[in-house]
Chain A
Amino acid sequence: MSYIPLFIILPLFGAFVLSLVRTRRFGDIFANIINLSLFILSLIIIRFGTIVYKIGGWEPVNGIPIGIYWVKDGLSTLMLIIVNLIALMSTIFSVNYMERFTEKNRYYCLFLLMLAGMNGVILSGDMFNLFVFLEIAAISSYSLVAFGTESEELEAAFKYQVMGTIASSFILLGIALLYSYTGTLNMADMARVIAIKNSESGILNSVSSISHFQLVNFVCGLFIMGFGMKAAIVPFHAWLPDAHPSAPAPISAMLSGVLIKALGVYVLIRIVFNITGMTPVFSNILLVLGTLSIMGGVVSAIGQWDFKRLLAYHSISQVGYIILGIGLGTPLGILGGLFHLLNHSVFKSLLFLNSGAVVYATGTRDLKQMGGLNKRMPVTGNSSFIASMSIAGVPPFNGFWSKLIIIIACIQANRIGFAIWAIIGSILTLASFMKVQRYAFFGPLNEKWKGIKEVPGFMRVSMVLLAILCIGMGLLLLPQVREVLLNPAVEVLENGIEYAKTILL
């Protein structure tokens, strides 16, 4: 019995059972057990190599796959670990935080559905299966954004839903065009067919060859629009600053921490690198979009006084770093991009959990009304200090190492302009988080908050664990440790369309 389907089965089981059972204590314990076991599973599968899992036992006929494949390789292992880690931390945080909402079990049900969707997107090796899981995750996230059911939250959720549906229709159109062109939905088989047609049209160089490249480029354009909207890269980012702050804090952590990466960045790079093949044109598009995101996000963030909205704008900016690193296409750039993806998940979800703790204790998100909270809430204050220094890229913390690698990769690839923009973005990030620390946690204690207490135990546990990860994750770059987790992921992207051979055999 293989471990792979358990990543989908367990969260779905949890969601379906929790939609039937109404006992609160049971919901807390059950959801946490499921997420803990998922995290442990994701650690267990590190030691396996590439696994191809065929649902229903449908073996390929004459080498052509007919069933749905689930594929676990280095890149999906990396994504699975980070998704399930952040999900575990968010559910631990939810035990206390969600006490104030009614229908807590419905919340866990939607949460686990979203998790199942994300795990499915990461594991799927079949284009349409991927789209179905993407919609499961996206639709549960729409309703989770509206979970508070205040007018502001409903408005944000509606906007998110409209934009998300437009993105999904672009993606569906792209998948339909690819399917009609290649005649298969299996991602590896698709890559094989496209590679064959590529070489054919190179030799013939006839009218049909032009239409081949036109079609592939058009589909890639659709995918960049669709997945760019899911990942909130700059021209497509308008929904994010409304949607992410409106959700309950653990959900904001999930959305900003992993959802935009699993649904947006991961699928985009999987398709561009492994199916259609990376070309210099796409490399340039990704570099420009990444740089636009870095600057657009951080410039909009600096003027914000709403704590969670500021963090949401920083998500746009940090996703820009990931796109910039991976868009370079060099091994070092990919390493930096993937490592930044890992780091950003950890520190951004920690920051959102911090903001949730502040809202839990004081009831406000306005930075101007806070002040001196460090004296009353030392755990929240100190962990948010660590996370702020991480996101700003201050040396001992994890964010520094990944940004350093991205900048070095830019310089190595002779893209010094992009490196300079990345450095400027990092400095502006530091400035904006100095502001957060100064107004929220340091300085004199605001009279209003004399009576507040530190948040309850479970919330503190998850914040402390994430803060420890922020300090320690730089160790992942040590040569022996890198062999285990980061290098296999980089290899998958480096191999490019050779991906098809490893899957189809």
Chain B
Amino acid sequence: MELKKFFGGALHVDISNIPTYYEALLNTLAIAILAIFISAILGFFFALYFKYTIVRVSLAFTRAIHELFWALLFLQIFGLNTLTALLAIILPYSATLGKVYAEILEEHDSFPKELHVKGKISAFLYTKLPDAMPYLISYTLYRFECALKSTAILGFIGLMTLGYFLQGAFMQGNYGEVWLLLILFYIIIATLRFWFTKYSTPFLIVASFFYLDFVSGFSMENLTRFLTHDIIPSPLRKEQGFEVLFNWFSNIATHELIPGVLNTIVLTQIALIVTALIALLCFPFISKKFSNLPTRFGGGILLVILRSTPEYILAYLFLQIWGPSMLPAVLALALHNGAIIGFIMGQQTNELKLRIDTTKKKIELFGFEVLPRIYSSFLAFLFYRWEVIMRESAILGILGIHTLGFFIDSAIADIRLDKVVILLFFTAMLNILVDYISRRVRSYLRISTTINCELK
């Protein structure tokens, strides 16, 4: 029923609505541009000091918390404004960029040692940096695309970006409007390479800087109140003693933290398996080894759409269609991530050189020739996405599935920020743990870390 209404909505796209979205559209672009610019600078700086444990740990921590969670937190301090949006993107993004920049710089150390100059700075500027530059830039561009998606999604909690209207349209079942907004969003993403070039970038950054008003939201008073009052566990704040504090915490642990963590893990693992299946099933449709041109074209478009639609939006859509349960969440996570991995696998198989006497049967080709050769990189892709899926699993709780996000959202609804901070801390810890396990497994499987930036 809802599904029919959704696809029916595609026929009722009303372009005359577009002027309503101008402000949200400009905000989405400007916030993403400025946020990625600041993140890149900070990230580069972090990368230089990445060898220090304190830097690594704090970056892992900020990275492990989803931008929507950051936004919900900053909303309490600075309110619904540009500052909240910028900080929510910059914090996790600069941490991710810092880590990946550090890895890239480390990998690009091919210059012969004998030729190294004495000065560290000169060595860095003239040997390492030029070598790594193309990779740094291409990764930053990829992250910019992510930042656009993230910024759009911030609208779901009330910031004036594209998601603001998308959420309203979803909630009211105006699927014509949903389609229009999604199409606008795809156009922005698809044309990115044309308007975000090395010539236009400086102009865009300056324009964004002047367009956005990110000063008026700041209030020292609110920030101090948040740090010295709101996040102090309420029994401590009221000086009720150790026993009350213990009960307070154990109550949160048994009713919210443990069920939340378990549900998050369950959702993550189911989504991971379904992601794997979807990736394995769909990569042949864009691979020259299996499909003809029309199939590849159609498959390619479908995968690009799934890849460009953030999990959160997919989940929101499926929830409207099938009602609330684990299924919409699993499907949203698996389709998005499966499409990402399937796309890369398809491209990889195109470069495979097959034996001359190889089988003609597609199914044998799939099972006995192609798959065994790319299986280890397939596993690596999957492990890379593991942490991402877990971050998203937690956030999907906001939509009603009882993962950590559900309890964090409830605590915010009750304005219990002390509880929010505790739940967020453990959400981050869970992510850091998964990241650690994933890295160990990858190194055990001896899968090189250089494979693909697009997966992180």
Answer whether A and B are interacting partners.
no
Binding site for A on B (CB under 8 A): none
